[in-house]
Structure 1
Amino acid sequence: MTHGHSHSHSLRGPAPLGPLAARIVVGLLVVIGAAVLAGAVVLWPSQQKVDIPLPFQDATGGAVTTEAGHVTSSSLGHCGSSSAGRVLTSAPTPGLPEAGECVQSVVEIASGPNAGATTLLEFSLTPGQPNLAAGEDIRIIRAVDQHGSTTYAFYDYERTWPLVALALAFAVVVVAVARWRGLRALIGIVVAFGVLMVFLLPALRDGASAVPVSLVASAAILYAVIYLAHGVSLRTSAALLGTLTSLLLAAVLSWSAIELAQLTGLSEDQNNEVAAYLGHVSITGLLLAGFIIGSLGVLNDVTVTQASTAFELAATENTSRRAVFTGAMRVGRDHIASTVYTLVLAYAGSSLPLLLLFSVANRSLSDVLTSESVAIEIARSAVGGIALALSVPLTTAIAAVLATPGESPNVPTTPADIPRNRT
């Protein structure tokens, strides 16, 4: 009997595992995305008012106001001038001979209600004091007391335009080299910082638990960054699922490291200030959130590379999923080797001032390595390295299952294009 249809099997067609695996991965990502949205709703910060910490308050309890200033002169003089910090319209009065020597800088007030006037800033001759030179632009604090008297003090150097120039140069180079993908990556960075500023920090400030808040924020950032920069496809979906799974592992490892090593975070000055002025915020939670957020970038880098490698290898003629996995893992091992020491050296570089102080204090190596400040960086490196190493086989396996052997990597592979079983 002759049938009115025939069966054909193409060597370049999808293997039976491909379509089912694709639907499972896409389904998992949809479920995880819905869980992230639900978590964001539940954990959304209440925006409750928090008192401004004392170092950042003015005399009335409000936020400190800063203004632009321009240094017109800087010279040695006697300390204790009655003009120090005052609003001046004439030359400052000399200091007191018995008060010792200071660096006295005359600063033109360039913004605010006293723009055009000058003020005098005095700095003692001790390490750590600013060394202002004529012609420099700075930021100065304007404080008004209960009697309406205005005083000024040094706040910081003016860095707006140098930072704007660096940011523009960064954006131009990224877009020039990576084109539209680079532009989408920059948009992803903006989204990431938006999540941190609008959700993560206010939630932590409200005293929310660090683990769920950090995981929800990190997952939201990953969905935005990976799909924005690399487009929506099975390739990027493989990278995203691998990164999300590795991120969960990094959270568990971070919590374990902090508990086992008894890290408190109180060795860092900023954490001590948080503990002093925001007592309801958990310092160990803040430390944990830092571990989790810090692992995002390196995990994203590795998983996207592994997924891309697997899909490119799958486009080779007469290949198999096993061959795709094996080949991609060879690339992944090199990636692990290079990225792990990059990760460790980056953390070591951030701790150089501390290591320098230890080196001149004649402390034993074991004391140095087990001190909390160094132990935090060791734990951070270990957590990042373990999560990084495990993310490679995990993401490679997901990508090898999703990639159709023999199919061109340029063929669109959005969820809508998931192939159906053919007979």
Structure 2
Amino acid sequence: MLTAAGLVARRRAAWILAAILGPLGVATLVAMVLLWPTGDHGDLKLSNPYAVAQGVSIDTGTVQTVGQSGCADGQPASQCAVAVTQPEAGGPVVAVAMNPDVMVSHGVKAGDRIRYLNLSRLQQPSATPAASAPAAPSYVFVDFVRTVPVLLLAGLYAFVVVAVARWRGLRALVGLAGAYAVLALFVLPGLVEGKPPLLLALVGSTAIMMGVLYFAHGISARTSTALLGTIFGLGVTALLASWAVDAGNLTGVGSHDAASLVSLGGGLSISGVILCGLVIASLGALNDVTITQASAVWELYELAPRTPARRLFSSALRIGRDHIASTVYTIAFAYAGAALPALLLVMLYERPLLEALTGPELVEEVVRTLVGSIGLVLAIPLTTAVAVAVVKATGAARLAPAAAPETAG
């Protein structure tokens, strides 16, 4: 039962947290309004790779059989492969010319759903082509249709999260949708319009974390503590990322997508895109360690409410050290997995290790790992210290002094 002193302590801790997070929230909201994109991309336009000319359509069908057609002597089968496909719109089967790279890397089999260019309605030239010239295919492979397996996987993910975490898991999924909305409506258009990338990253990330943490975990001193640690880690990450992009001369030339954006010109800064990406990439890991660390402090306190603050901090920090080690591995392996094709190329180049790690193919992943890990590691002791102070202020004082035992007369 709360004592009068306990009520005062809890109220004081709540006011301190509100005094810190309230202005941060207001500043974030004001910054979002000031930085909100206008929707005007200017001259930045990129043609849709799936746009088609008049008379051409992209159709969908199911592969019936796979074979070869028109193979020259000595020509690899992958370069003349065709997929006999039943169009979903109906009609007779068509022979779709397959991409040789697809046939070598993955292949196609009966039952696969594919998209293909339908060139059959184009007006044929009146002149008869030379007998030696091969006829151009009327149907050309574009891509696989992956809608069903991806939706099944997404449904399974949502089911597992809700089944295990219940309402909190459902709220986390809704919060995730909100986070992607902030990225899609605020951060990405802002980058295209040339808004300051560091401000976009910090404001967008802070807004995401405030929404996600409070929505998924509820409004409480524990959540506010985790949010403070997360914002601190974001600040450290942003400062390091800003320095690393400049000092490391990260230009994005090692990425095909970045190179495509460079060609657009305008106010889009590829270095700014990289900087923004370095900050946003740290969100998930920071959220994980700070909420876990705050929860660890509260659970340790509940088990032993009379533990001194210093001992509570030391116990929680030991948990944090284990979490640091495992999370650093998680970040490193996640980025290594994403960069696996580049790692294979670097291995085949047989370049010196240090030169390879600082080369254009890998340097962004290396910097992302280092910057994110530093911010994560520094956020843990701060979150632990704030959590100990808050839990002692809001909880320890509720322990009423033990009643003095009656002495026998």
Measure the CA separation in 2 of the matches of 1:394 and 1:145.
66
Asked if 1:164 is matched to 2:151, the reply is yes
Name which of 115, 126, 137 aligns with 1:139: 115
Counterpart in 2 of 1:22? 14
Counterpart in 2 of 1:302? 289
Measure the CA separation in 1 of the matches of 2:321 and 2:7.
27
Distance apart, 1:59 and its partner CA: 3.3
SS where residue 392 of structure 2 aligns? coil
Letter matched to residue 176 of structure 1: A
Counterpart in 1 of 2:34? 42
Output aligned runs, 1:28-177, within 5 Å: 28-48=20-40, 50-53=44-47, 55-59=49-53, 66-78=58-70, 102-111=80-89, 115-116=90-91, 118-123=93-98, 125=100, 131-141=107-117, 153-177=140-164
Asked if 1:351 is matched to 2:345, the reply is no
Name which of 355, 380, 405 aligns with 2:368: 380
* Cα 1:408–1:360 shift into 2, 3 Å: same
Deviations along 1:295-317, one digit per CA (max 9) or x if unpaired, are 00000000001111112223323
Counterpart in 1 of 2:237? 250
Distance apart, 1:33 and its partner CA: 1.2
SS where residue 404 of structure 1 aligns? helix
* Cα 1:36–1:118 shift into 2, 3 Å: farther
SS where residue 104 of structure 1 aligns? strand
The answer for unaligned runs of 5 or more in structure 2 is: 126-137, 400-409
* Cα 1:291–1:147 shift into 2, 3 Å: farther
My pick for the range that moved more, 268-277 or 310-319, is 310-319
Output aligned runs, 1:395-410, within 5 Å: 395-404=383-392, 407=395
Measure the CA separation in 2 of the matches of 1:198 and 1:319.
47
Distance apart, 1:109 and its partner CA: 2.8
Counterpart in 2 of 1:198? 185
Distance apart, 1:99 and its partner CA: 9.5
The answer for unaligned runs of 5 or more in structure 1 is: 1-8, 80-95, 412-423
Counterpart in 2 of 1:89? none
Deviations along 1:38-72, one digit per CA (max 9) or x if unpaired, are 11111111112552336354337xxx975422223
Judging by fraction of residues, say which structure has more helix.
Answer: 2
Measure the CA separation in 2 of the matches of 1:72 and 1:335.
51
My pick for the range that moved more, 306-315 or 248-257, is 306-315
* Cα 1:130–1:303 shift into 2, 3 Å: closer
Distance apart, 1:233 and its partner CA: 0.3
Letter matched to residue 105 of structure 1: A
Counterpart in 1 of 2:314? 326
Distance apart, 1:25 and its partner CA: 1.6
Contact 2:252/2:271, CA 8 A, preserved across alignment = yes
Name which of 289, 296, 299 aligns with 1:312: 299
SS where residue 109 of structure 2 aligns? coil
My pick for the range that moved more, 316-325 or 288-297, is 316-325
Letter matched to residue 121 of structure 1: V
Counterpart in 2 of 1:264? 251
TM-score of the aligned structures, taking structure 2 as reference length: 0.83
Q: Percent identity?
A: 38
Letter matched to residue 319 of structure 1: T
Measure the CA separation in 1 of the matches of 2:311 and 2:124.
77
Asked if 1:223 is matched to 2:210, the reply is yes
Name which of 203, 220, 237 aligns with 2:224: 237
* Cα 1:148–1:171 shift into 2, 3 Å: farther
Distance apart, 1:182 and its partner CA: 0.8
Letter matched to residue 191 of structure 2: L
Distance apart, 1:245 and its partner CA: 1.6
SS where residue 319 of structure 1 aligns? coil
SS where residue 14 of structure 1 aligns? helix
Name which of 301, 322, 329 aligns with 1:341: 329
Deviations along 1:132-178, one digit per CA (max 9) or x if unpaired, are 223211123468999899x7532211111111111111111111111
Deviations along 1:332-377, one digit per CA (max 9) or x if unpaired, are 1111111112211222222222222222222122221221222111
Counterpart in 2 of 1:86? none
Counterpart in 1 of 2:130? none
TM-score of the aligned structures, taking structure 1 as reference length: 0.80
RMSD between aligned residues? 3.3
Measure the CA separation in 2 of the matches of 1:145 and 1:293.
47
Counterpart in 1 of 2:134? none
* Cα 1:66–1:222 shift into 2, 3 Å: farther
* Cα 1:296–1:141 shift into 2, 3 Å: farther
Measure the CA separation in 1 of the matches of 2:96 and 2:178.
40
Measure the CA separation in 2 of the matches of 1:409 and 1:202.
49
SS where residue 82 of structure 2 aligns? strand
Count how many residue pairs are aligned between Structure 1 and Structure 2. 380
Deviations along 1:183-238, one digit per CA (max 9) or x if unpaired, are 11111111111111122112212222211111121111111111111111010001
Distance apart, 1:131 and its partner CA: 2.6
